[in-house]
Structure 1
Amino acid sequence: MVDTLAATGADTFGRGGGIAWLAVALSTLGALVAFACVRHAKYSIKFRLLWLTMAAVSLGGVGLWLANSVALLGVRVHDSPVRYSAPIGTSALAIAVVGVLAGLLISGRTPQLPRLIIGGLTMGLGTGLSTYLTLDALAVQGTVEESLPIIGLAVLASMALCVATLWAFQTVRLIGLRVLASVLFALGVAGVYYLGVSALEFAVDPGNLAPEGLQLFDLVFPMFVLGALGLTVPITAVLVAPDRRDVVAPSTTS
C-alpha cells in the first residue's frame, strides 16, 4: 500500500501579507493603550489594580493573543483544512492576560532591576506559553509535530521582550518614544510568533477524517470585534481620568 502521509510546512503568508500587518497594528494599539494604563496606575492608589488589569487585557489580550490569532488567519496547509481548538485558544488568552498582570504587579511602581527581571521573566513565560498554546490549538487532517528546541527559543525571546517592555513602561515618558516602543513590542511579538510557527511541521494524511474544531475565522472575527470594543473601556478611562502627574507617588514599591 502506498503511504499517503506527507510532511509539509505551513505557508505562513498563504493569504497575503496584509493579515500580518493587521496583526502588527493590533499589537501596537494594544501596547499603546497599556502604556497609558500603566502610567495612570503609577500615580493611583485606590484604582491601581484596576488600571493594571486594563493594561494586562490590552497588552496580553489584544496586543499578544488577538494579534497572534489574527496572524494565524494567514496560515495555509496544503491539501488539508485547518481547524482551531476553542478550549485551548481560550486557555491561551487567559494565560496571556494573567501572565502580563503578574509581571506588572511584580515589577512595581519604580524601576528596580531585580523586580524588573523577575517580572519580565514571569510575564515572558506566560506570554510564551500563550503563544505556544495558540499554535498548539491548530489541527489538520493528519498530525502536527513541534520542534521543542525552537519552541524553547521562542519562549526565551518572549522573556527578553517582556523584560524590555516592563523597563519601557517604567522609564519612557515622551509620547513619541511610547509609540516607538509600542511598534518595537509589536514587531517583537510578531518575531516570537513566526519563530513558533517555524517549529511546526504538518503531516497531512488524506485518509484521515477532517479535523475537529472551529474554522479560524469563526473564532477570530468575533474576538476581533470584542477586542476592539473592549479597548474602548481603557481608552475612555484614560481620557476621562484626572492627570495625576503632579501627585507624589507613594514611597512603597509594591
Structure 2
Amino acid sequence: MSQVQHFALGGWLLVLAYLTSVVGCTLGLSCTLHARYAISPRARLGWLGLAALSLGGVGIWLMHFLAMLGFATPGMPVRYNLLWTALSALLAVASVFGGLLVFGVRAKFAWWRLIVSGVITGGAVNLMHYTGMWALEIKGTIGYNAGLVILSVVIAVVAATAALWFTVAVDKPLHRLAAGLVAGVAVTGMHYTGMAAMEVRLDISAPDPSGTEVFSFLFPVFILAALALAIPICAVLMAPPPGSRREPEATPRTGAGAPRSPQSSVDSGGLV
C-alpha cells in the first residue's frame, strides 16, 4: 500500500473547506426554517430548493471539491472524470432536497420526520463523497476499509440530524449559526474519515490517467458556487423573519387560542 497526501497544499485547506461548509450549511438551514413557515406549498418547495442548493451544492459538494485540492500521489498525476464530478454535484443537491422535503414540508415538528430526514441528508453526504471519489483517476487502484466507511456514514447521519433539530429547537440567528457549525463538522468529518478509509495502491507502470487536471476547471466551479450562494442569500435577506407569517394549518391553538410555535412542539414532544 502506497502513501498518499491529503494536505499537499497545507493545513489551511482544511480550515477553508470547513468554513465553506459552514457557510453553505448555515444558509441552507436558514432556508429550511423559512420553508417551515412558508404560506403556500409552492413557496415552501422554493425555499427547500434553495436550501438544497446551499447545503448540497456548497456545504457538501464544494467542501469536498476544496478538500480534494489537497489530495496528491507524490510524483504521479491525479486526474478527474468530469462526468462523475458533475454527477456527484447533482446527486448532492437532489438527495439533500429529498431529505429536506421530508423534514421541512410541514411547520409542525415530528420526531419521525427529523430522524428520517437526518438519515437521508446524512446519507446524501456519503453518496456525494463516494460518487465523487469515482471521479478520481490515478496510476493505480483505490479500495476502502469497510469499518471506516461505516464510521463515516454514522458521523454524517448523527451530525446532520442534530443540525436539523437546531432549526426547530431555536429561532435565534446565533443558534442557526451553531447549527451550521455542527453541520460543517458532519460534512468535513465525514469527508476526512472517508479519505482515511481509502486504501490506495499506486502502480508506476500503469498508464497515465485520462481525466482532467483539477485546476483546469477550478474557475468555473467557483463561479457556479458564487451563484449558488448569491441566490439563497438574496432570498433570505429579502424575506420577512421566519415565523412572522405562518400558514393557517401550522398554527394549532390551545387554551385561549394562543398559537403554538415549532419550539413548543419540540418541548412538549408533540408528534405529527
Calculate the TM-score normalised by the size of structure 2: 0.85
CA RMSD, 1 decimal? 1.9
8 Å Cα contact 2:2-2:201 kept in structure 1: yes
CA-to-partner distance for each residue in 1:188-234, whole Å, 9 max, x for gaps? 21110000001112222221111111112223432122111221111
Matches of residues 44-63 of structure 1 in structure 2 within 5 Å? 44=38, 45=40, 46-63=42-59
Note if contact 2:29-2:164 (Cα within 8 Å) is conserved in structure 1: no
Q: Secondary structure at the match of 1:206?
A: coil
Is the CA contact 2:58–2:228 (under 8 Å) kept in the aligned structure 1? no
Corresponding residue number in structure 1 for 2:114: 116
Q: 2:62 aligns with which of 57, 61, 66?
A: 66
Cα distance, 1:54–1:233 mapped onto 2, change above 3 Å: same
- % identical aligned pairs: 33
Match of 2:257 in 1: none
Q: Mapping of 1:1-254 within 5 angstroms?
A: 7-44=1-38, 45=40, 46-107=42-103, 108-243=106-241, 245-251=243-249
How many residue pairs are counted as aligned between the two chains? Answer: 248
> Distance between the aligned counterparts of 1:188 and 1:220, measured in 2?
24
Contact 1:37 1:51 in 2 (8 A): yes
Whole-angstrom distance in 1 between the partners of 2:194 and 2:214 = 18
CA distance in structure 1 between the aligned counterparts of 2:152 and 2:47, rounded to whole angstroms: 29
Change (3 A) 1:85 1:172: farther
Gaps of at least 5 residues in structure 1 are: 1-6
Give 1:244 deviation, angstroms: 5.2
CA distance in 2, matches of 1:136, 1:250: 46
Q: Distance in 2 between matches of 1:250 and 1:141?
A: 60
Unpaired segments of 5 or more residues in structure 2? 251-270
